[in-house]
Structure 1
Amino acid sequence: MKQRFRILVWLVFLPAVLYAMIVPGGALATRSYMDEASLQAGSALRLAVSALQGHLSRYEPLPALIADHDDIKHLISDPDDRTLREAANAYLKDINGLLESSDIYVMKMDGDTIAASNYDGPTSFVGQNFSYRPYFQDAAKGGQSRFYALGTTSLKRGYYFASPIRVDEEIRGVIVFKVDIDSIEGSWQGGEYKIFVSDPEGIIFMTGSPEWRYSAILPLTPERLARTQASRRYAEAVLKPLPFHADETTGHRLITLADGGATREYLTLSQYMPEADWTVSVLMDTSSVRTQARTMLIAVLLFLGLAGLAIAIVIQWRARAQERMRMQIEARNELEHRVEQRTADLARVNRRIELEIAERRMTEQKLRETQADLIQAGKLAGLGQMSAALSHELNQPLAAAKTYADSAAMLIDRDRVDEARDNVRRISGLIDRMASISRHLRNFARKPNEKLGPVVLSAVLTDTLEIVAARLKSADATLLVDLGKTPVVVHAGSVRLQQVLVNIITNAADAVEGLSDRRIHIDAVRDEGRVAITIRDHGPGVPAAIAERIFDPFFSTKGVGRGLGLGLSISYNIVKDFGGSLSVSNPPDGGAEFRIALDAAPAISEAAE
């Protein structure tokens, strides 16, 4: 009787206990796996946001830089000049191809486009009016604007950067830089996660699922539709709501929507990008998460059932203890298998991180190689500008040598051997002179492969003067050098320091050419372990408006064809590599003064290349 009563109690009590464990246990398991899935989706979201930010940040400063180009300023000042339009069109097309952007175009203050990189294409922007675009309106007020839209002419999606074009501090027009972002969107297709980007009105404009494009995740109210239509952000694209149901009662944002003919539930994470006014969202299918939770719950219930059965068997039949031990061994093997799976997952993640590190190192190496090539390009550009003067410099000793040779022949015929021998010595001296100029030009032109070390400033300056002598002579400039009584030794590389001095002295010669005061001063002062080298001219000086940008790449105040705008930028980076600094100022009595600050070397010795 007692045995039957005990069995009856177990039959009533056990289901109640199991039910009380299943409901909260299932919710707890689901929440745990959802938390883990949320961490994974968060990593994917950060990577997507970083990719978008990195892609856009590369192009953000370019409109303002191009707006400062002389061709653009001349065109916007005289938009009806056909020659200026053709020059601006060619320049924009070259820059667009170089930077691999979508389109670049220039607009007047009334919104009419007067020059574009696609001027010769079937969807040319020239003659189009985009005054209704917010990026034009913001830039016309003097701001740097950004805007995403579907092109009304090209029907291509892109991100727009706009900058005002100022001439004599007056806004005369707007330049627009359109960037293609289809490559990023293409990388999202077929991945583990669903990724989309929505605008402030909640309309999806970038997604790895093409069927979601131009769908709205917010209600399409008349106000939202009116704002979108006013800017013509999506041209004539048909906007439609995205049918979904959201649930945030579990502590996670879950949405249910139809995907590929089936209804799916997704875990959703979003991040707002304030600089672009976008919201990036990542959707992760929760079917695997719920399957894991159910599997865990079933495993727990199975374990409890087996444990209860084992206890009952021990109570009823102690002889079944071996069976219970076998079940425990199986459970332990299952746990070890899961540990092995997790270890394998961690190993795959580690391999992926190692690959990313290797790619980053390769990128850094390519960056250093590109920087070296840019330095070499600046040196060759400087050599090209000096070629005419150097040709004249070499022609003079050649003509003199020809005269001496002819004279020596005549003197030998007249038995005046001593005078003929003197002519031969003069010819030898002229040949040594030409060889010296050629040697220094060859050393200057080749790519440096040197380590930093002690460099005697006077020796570097002597080699520099061999190169710039012809330019100083053509400018009729006077060079005054004062390096002090004690030899000055700095920590640098001789060839690259020579390149810096050539760039600055050549710029000084350009500045004083044609002026009444054509003096150029070079001084060196040592102070507390540092050496300050100053190169000063008596030219017009550096205007305050460009002083902060004079070391930027491709920035030049010279006319077209007289410079690439790379010399000072390369010099700035070379001095920075030496651990020093390069700055410019205007002395009170006029002219410009460039100051190079370097570490003094501990010992006096010339650095070998």
Structure 2
Amino acid sequence: MPRFRSLPLLLVCLLLVGLSGFSAYRIGQRLGIADLRATGLHRLDLYAASLEREIGKYAFLPGTLNLEPAVLDLLAGQGGDAAGGRVNAYLEKLNERAGTLSIYVLDASGKVAAASNWRRPDSFVGEDLSFRPYFREAIETGTGRFFGIGTTRGEPGYYLASALTGESGTLGVAVIKVSLEQLEKSWSTVEAPVLVADENGVVILSAVAGWKFTTLRPLDEATRAAFDHTQQYNRRALQPLGVRPLGDIDYGVRLVHIAASGPETISVYPVTGRFLEQSRTLPGTPWTLTVLSHLEQVDNLAQSRAALAAIAAACLCLLGIILNERRRHLRDRLAAREALQQAHDDLERKVEERTADLSAANRQLQDEIGERIRAERTLRAAQDELVQAGKLAVIGQLSTGIAHELNQPLAALRTLSANAERFLERGDVDTTRTNLGRIADLVDRMGRITGQLRNFARKSSGQSAPVALCHAVDNALDLLDARLRRASAEVARSCPVDEPVALCDANRLEQVLVNLIGNALDAMAGQPRPRIDLAWECADGRVRLHVRDHGPGLSAEAQAHLFEPFFTTKPAGDGLGLGLTISAGIVRDFGGSLHGANHPDGGAVFTLELPLAPTP
């Protein structure tokens, strides 16, 4: 009979434990999704801003061709073959300067009249592209935008088109093809997958390579036939991504499931399973930006909370059963009341202690995990910012020399332009043409100076690749050219016949070389003819570059604290003592090392050791 009387109470306890665990799981899941949603909105803002900024850099470029008389003369049928050659050369040079994939001009019928790739065997010149949507849109509205895959070379890109008009009306269309590959590479290192779909539901940009040119919704045969006509995707298969909706949460927010299809995609984050999908339409385009946040961590946290709630409910039920048994035993055994009371107190204390220990241990573990994750992210961000700050500090030191380098061409430009105006008034066309040629040479010179500075200042991707050391040293010397000439410094550099190729990041390596050569110049400040020696040696799969100055050398104190942060021998205000620290950290990331010592013949020598790139 006692066993049958306890059965209903046991069933009630099991039901209470199940309800407690289920309720805690649902509450924990809702709270986790709310946090994940807030993080996803922030990521949407960042990715949308980066995409708009990348496209905005080139939005004005097609319209500028309407200001080039040679382009308008070509479309108007004036100038003959010579006009076409001039426009081809102009577009080729403009394409190299702008960093675009291609630039070409179509006449009013949609035929390519001139192109930047006119030298290539697969040049666009002469092709009929009137079927392209961006041509028809530019003819009708004045501008056109289109994402597609080139029909000639098969390169995906974003097309920006603008109508070219003359006195007689629309003469043709200027088209700029821009690559968004660099933006995709930057997205591949983020914490959650991101993709961009066009108005047809086709994924055109994605942080996951396997998702690109898949569809978010099924395509009917009529739509596929239309794609074959416009050749927008160059007859790609356009397989479905396999997104299955699980439920809508809010406008633009829903839960989805992505199933695995084909070989497993290698990625830094999960690409299959349940995701929180957050989408937003990009202003000025029919595209949709989508961020997918995986729910694995939310589910794990909700399960942990559910387990804790179930354990707590089980403890309460156990306590209730014990109390019930206590009352029943009091009725049956009044003589053993004191002993039973003592046993009950001991059992209750143990249950409370174990429950408290379990809760405290779980909270401590969660806090430690969270702190480690935040510390690792903060350290990684601080390291990247410190490297970029080192670059900007070097640029600040170079600013005086660069300003002097630019002031001379600017003064010459002013004089030559004024002389050209006077010679033009006199009708002296030959002298005017000569002055304009000199102006173009000066502009090219200024472009090379600013281009080197821009390449040096840009943030590095951090990916190692084969780098020619002699070329990297030349780039560093070009950046320091003004300072070297101002100091009358002699650089003794001899590149081996078999040029060493190291495995590292070119941009960060140039930052290290600029810092080492700049320190050598600082060490020889005040000398009438300073000299810097650069020497290479290769052995055991590694290359060593020695940078030697002919200054006073390193003191004992400097050698003891050479790579410590904020240690510097320079006067106050001339440095923070972070240059060698940052350089040593960069070289360690490459798998190399940086050492400093005194040369036996005088002066200091810094040895940069890097792994050689594998022979192809």
Query: TM-score over 0.5 for the alignment?
Result: yes
Q: 1:34-71 deviations in whole A, cap 9, x for unaligned?
A: 22223333333333323222221111112222442344
Query: Are 1:277 and 2:305 matched, yes or no?
Result: no
- Please state whether the residue corresponding to 1:106 is helix, strand or coil: strand
Q: Secondary structure at the match of 1:341?
A: helix
Distance in 2 separating the partners of 1:375 and 1:141:
46
Is residue 142–residue 171 contact of structure 1 (8 Å, CA) maintained in 2? no
Cα deviation digits, residues 240-294 of structure 1 (max 9, x gap): 3333321215665122232256862222111211323211222233233222221
Tell me whether 197-206 or 11-20 shows the greater mean CA deviation. Answer: 11-20
Distance 1:62 1:306 in 2: 71
In structure 1, what is the equivalent of residue 199 of structure 2? 200
TM-score, structure 2 as length reference = 0.58
Question: Please, what is the CA RMSD of the aligned residues?
Answer: 3.8
Amino acid at match of 1:279: T
Distance change in 2, residues 1:273/1:284 (3 Å): same
Identical-residue share of aligned pairs (%):
23
> What displacement does 1:177 show?
0.9
Question: Could you report, residue by residue, the CA deviation over 1:452-479 in whole angstroms, capped at 9, with x for unpaired residues?
Answer: xxxxxxxxxxxxxxxxxxxxxxxxxxxx
Report the equivalent of 2:368. 340
Q: How far apart are 1:195 and its partner, in Å?
A: 2.5
Return the alpha-carbon distance in structure 1 between the equivalents of residues 424 and 59 of structure 2: 40
Structure 1 regions of 5+ residues with no counterpart?
A: 386-502, 517-556, 571-609
Asked whether the equivalents of residues 381 and 564 of structure 1 are also in contact (C-alpha less than 8 Å), the reply is: no
Taking the aligned partners of 1:377 and 1:144, their CA distance within structure 2 comes to 39
How far apart are residue 368 of structure 1 and its match? 7.8
Q: Spell out the pairing of 1:82-97 with structure 2 (5 A cutoff).
A: 82-97=81-96
How many residue pairs align between the two structures? 410
Counterpart position of 1:331: 359
Deviations 1:100-150 (A, max 9, x none): 211111111111112111111132111111111122223234623221111
C-alpha distance in 1 between matches for 2:47 and 2:208? 15
1:521-560 residue CA offsets vs partner (Å, 9 max, x unmatched): xxxxxxxxxxxxxxxxxxxxxxxxxxxxxxxxxxxx9995
Q: Which residue of 1 aligns with 2:274?
A: 265
Residue matched to 2:313: 304
1:319 matched to 2:346? The reply is yes
- The letter for the 1-side match of 2:257 is T
Deviation at 1:13, TM superposition (A): 2.4
Q: Is the 8 A contact 2:256 2:274 kept in 1?
A: yes
* Structure 2 counterpart of 1:381: 409
The answer to whether the 8 A contact 1:165-1:175 is kept is yes
Indicate if the aligned counterparts of 1:22 and 1:297 stay in contact, CA closer than 8 A. Answer: yes
Give the Cα–Cα distance (whole angstroms) in 1 for the partners of residues 84 and 396 of structure 2: 38
Q: Counterparts of 1:66-145 in structure 2 under 5 Å?
A: 66-78=65-77, 81-141=80-140, 143-145=142-144
Q: What aligned pairs does 1:199-238 form with structure 2 within 5 A after superposition?
A: 199-222=198-221, 224-225=223-224, 227-238=226-237
TM-score, structure 1 length as denominator? 0.58
Three-state SS of the structure 2 residue aligned to 1:335 is: helix
- Map of 1:594 onto structure 2: none
Any residues of structure 2 matched to 1:430-445 within 5 Å, and which?
none
Structure 2 residues not aligned, in runs of 5+:
265-271, 327-342, 427-432, 447-616
User: How many angstroms apart in 1 are the aligned matches of 2:358 and 2:384?
Assistant: 39
Q: Is the 8 A contact 2:215 2:241 kept in 1?
A: yes
**C-alpha displacement at 1:373, in angstroms?**
8.1
- Residue identity opposite 2:30 in structure 1: R
Q: Following superposition of structure 1 onto structure 2, how do residues 1-16 of structure 1 map, counting pairs within 5 Å?
A: 7-8=6-7, 10-16=9-15
Question: Contact 1:63/1:163 (CA < 8 Å) preserved in 2?
Answer: yes
Return 316-325 or 333-342, whichever deviates more.
316-325
**Considering only CA atoms, is the larger Rg found in Structure 1 or Structure 2?**
1
Aligned residue in 1 for 2:339? none
Shift of residue 360 of structure 1?
A: 7.0
Alignment check: 8 A CA contact 2:416 2:435 kept: no
Give, in whole Å, the separation in 1 of the partners of 2:297 and 2:347.
Answer: 38
The one-letter code of the counterpart of 1:21 is: S
Aligned to 1:550: none
Are residues 124 and 366 of structure 1, via their aligned partners in 2, closer, same or farther at CA, if it must alter by over 3 Å? farther
Matched, 1:184 2:183: yes
Structure 2 counterpart of 1:381, which letter? P
Query: 1:169, CA displacement in angstroms?
Result: 7.8
CA contact (8 A) 1:204 1:216 kept: yes
Write the deviation string for residues 316-375 of structure 1: whole angstroms up to 9, x where unpaired.
621224423243123212212212222333334444554565577678779989998886
Partner Cα distance (1:99, 1:373) in 2: 26
Q: Is contact 2:158–2:177 with CA below 8 Å preserved after alignment?
A: yes
Question: Which position in structure 1 is the counterpart of 2:500?
Answer: none
Counterpart in the other structure of 1:43: 42
Change (3 A) 1:52 1:64: same
Alignment correspondent of 1:444: none
Amino acid at match of 2:213: Y
Q: C-alpha distance in 1, partners of 2:186/2:232? A: 24
Q: Deviations over 1:80-117 (max 9, x none)?
A: 62222222222222222222211111111111112111
Residue 6 of structure 1: how far off its partner (Å):
7.4
In structure 2, distance between residues paired with 1:359 and 1:223: 53
Between 192-201 and 8-17, the greater mean CA deviation after superposition: 8-17
